[in-house]
Amino acid sequence: MSIRKPSWFSSETIMVSTAPTCGLTKGGRLLPIVDPNTGKRVQEIDPETGAAVDAVDDKLKADAIALANGETTETLNFIPAAEIDLRCAVPAYYDHRYRDQFNEAMKAPQFAGFDTASIGDLIQQGVLKGRGGHGSPSQDERIGDVPYIKVSDLRAGLVNINPTNRIPLSVAKKFWHGQSSGLQAFDLVCPERTSKNIGDFCILLPGQERVVMTKEVIVLRPGPKANFDPFYLLWALSLKVVRDQWRRVIFMQTNREDVGKRYLEILLPVPPSPERAKEISEPFRSFYQTLATARSALSDYLNQEKQHHFFVSGAEEVTPAGDDEAAS
């Protein structure tokens, strides 16, 4: 028996809906529409009973109705079949809205003379350096003085060291594969998975290099061919049109979110000169350099006085001199 092809069918394209809701909550209940201005549920009239009921947030149904009517929506896309990889059959990955918004933003006057490149291309060109974390020590090894950084410690643009979550230097060196962490002051760090903060970069301040980073992080820094510093890089990665691109490459993996190597596809603006890069990112530079200076001064005071119970990495008691190496 033959099946009639719908009017929208094409052998050259594949319909992909990136609708964020399907009318149900995680618990299987109807998902109501909530008015963001009032915080109350939106009501509509039930056509069968005439009673007022909660409106259901079902954007997938709206896409299906639009498809049947030959209409389009913001989340309804027809992707060339050649661009679909069945090993990556996640609808959000084929949503080009965020890349289109980035390309449109690059036409603004403030980006005159800027180029565009992906993180992956910039790493290949030597403009960026990228790496992952060191590893994840077991719970019973967390009894030393070298801070262990988890994804939950990366918040609000800073690496927040937990003084109760540290490991012995001997264990740290195993994860470092050497005498030092390989991290540098002002390295940029963000979660790679298991966090809602994937794509939100934090800065490693001077004095925080002597740490072990969980393996589930991304570390970026300017490479030898960069015409910009870490503060410009953070400025670029914090742009809304850059940050929004992460929505396309972050996938849910069972009970955790995961970005894999897809972050290499994120597009960044590349400045025309070091002078322009410094000019446009000056507020970021001023903030973090001021913070680093103040933090260093407090650390010096704590090291001298030795009478306060106040944790600043670098001012706490550490392994005796000669048994440790400064981070590179």
pLDDT value at 31 more than 80 = yes
What pLDDT, on the 0 to 100 scale, is given for residue 317? Answer: 46
pTM: 0.82
pLDDT tens-place string over residues 111-143? 999 999 999 999 999 999 999 999 988 877 778
What pLDDT, on the 0 to 100 scale, is given for residue 308? Answer: 74
Chain Cα centroid distance, residue 48: 46
The residue extents of the domains of the chain are 13-92, 99-305
Amino acid in position 50: G
Give SS3 for 6.
Answer: coil
What pLDDT, on the 0 to 100 scale, is given for residue 177? Answer: 94
DSSP codes joined into one string, 123-156 = HHTTSEEEEE------GGG--SSEEEE-GGGEET
CATH H-level superfamily of 99-305: DNA methylase specificity domains (3.90.220.20)
Tell me the helices (H) and strands (E) count for the chain, helix number first.
Answer: 9, 17
Q: Where are the alpha helices (DSSP H) in 178-281?
A: 230-238, 240-243, 246-249, 274-280
Chain Cα centroid distance, residue 204: 16
CA gap 146, 161 in Å, rounded: 10
